[in-house]
Amino acid sequence: MIEMYFDSQEPVIDWLKAGAPMPDGGEITHFGDGERPVRKPQFEIADQRRYAEYLRRRGYGATLFGARFFVCASPSERVPSEISFYPFESRSEKKKAEHEAALLALAHELFQRFDARGAVYGFAGEHEEWRHYNLYKWPCSRGSQRFNTSPSGKDFKRYVPGVYWTNYFSNAYADSRRIAIEPLAATLGGEVTRCPNGVIWRAFPDHRQWREHASKLADFVAGDDRFFSLRRLPPVPDGLSPPEEMAFMHKLWVDWR
């Protein structure tokens, strides 16, 4: 998955209005509301008039599709806007991995492009990597082997959501969080690419290696309150009634979204 966060809705809307331009190999082929994907090599939205109407009707909260991934654009005036890229699921683990690899191959160039479009913060990595660091879990019932889950740690204005395979910081965001990327990369590893308005930090070479680095990175964010860590979230208390549990989880979401 790849996520990009913005301080306002304008960059998201401008990107959508421009036809959601993507790097080579990641072109948007169709959009929601049943538009059919066009045949290769014509990688473009086929019905521009209906696409414009779709954006207007959805308030620019669009779902778009490429050959191996889909995109959810969420412009907002009330909370930080975002653009999220997810690989297509598949019953075949091999096919699922191919979709994810094809999407993540676009990450570096996407960060460079969104650097010029007002991005504040972003990250890229396997969806399982994000789940490992940001998905709060608690048992469905006492002794149960099944778990409820809730996503946490997306409030990038409160803390950096984490350290992943690849990370993007605008210069202003890094300064506001008092984070010097080059020294951080020297400590934790990886390569840094400077952009006109920010920096891309790839913490380890291959996205499939995240489990090898998970313990080190989880220990780091747990010890640095500039970053989100699941270890800081309180466990669900025992003995709560269903309404009490819902109230607890609502407060947790408000406090640690």
Alpha helix stretches (DSSP H) within the chain: 10-17, 48-57, 93-104, 107-115, 127-134, 171-176, 181-188, 210-222, 242-256
Range ranked top by mean pLDDT from 21-30, 132-141, 196-205: 196-205
Q: What is the pLDDT of residue 41?
A: 45
Q: What is the pLDDT of residue 140?
A: 66
Q: Which residues pair with 30 in a beta bridge?
A: 65
Q: Which residue has the higher pLDDT, 38 or 245?
A: 245
Give residue 166's domain range: 2-256
Mean pLDDT, the chain, whole residue set: 88
Q: What is the pLDDT of residue 70?
A: 95
Instruction: Count how many domains the chain has.
Output: 1
- Among the listed residues 190, 173, 183, the one whose alpha carbon sits nearest the alpha carbon of residue 227: 173
DSSP conformation letters of 61-78: --EEE-SSEEEEEE--SS
Q: Which residue has the higher pLDDT, 145 or 137?
A: 137
What percent of the chain stands above pLDDT 90? 65
Are 79 and 67 within 8 A, CB to CB?
A: no
Residue pLDDT, tens place only, 62-104: 999 999 999 999 998 777 799 999 999 988 999 999 999 999 9
With cut-offs at 50, 70 and 90, classify the pLDDT of residue 241. Answer: confident
Q: Which residues pair with 147 in a beta bridge?
A: 139
For residue 250, pLDDT over 80 is answered with no
Q: By three-state DSSP, how is residue 94 classified?
A: helix
pTM of the model: 0.88
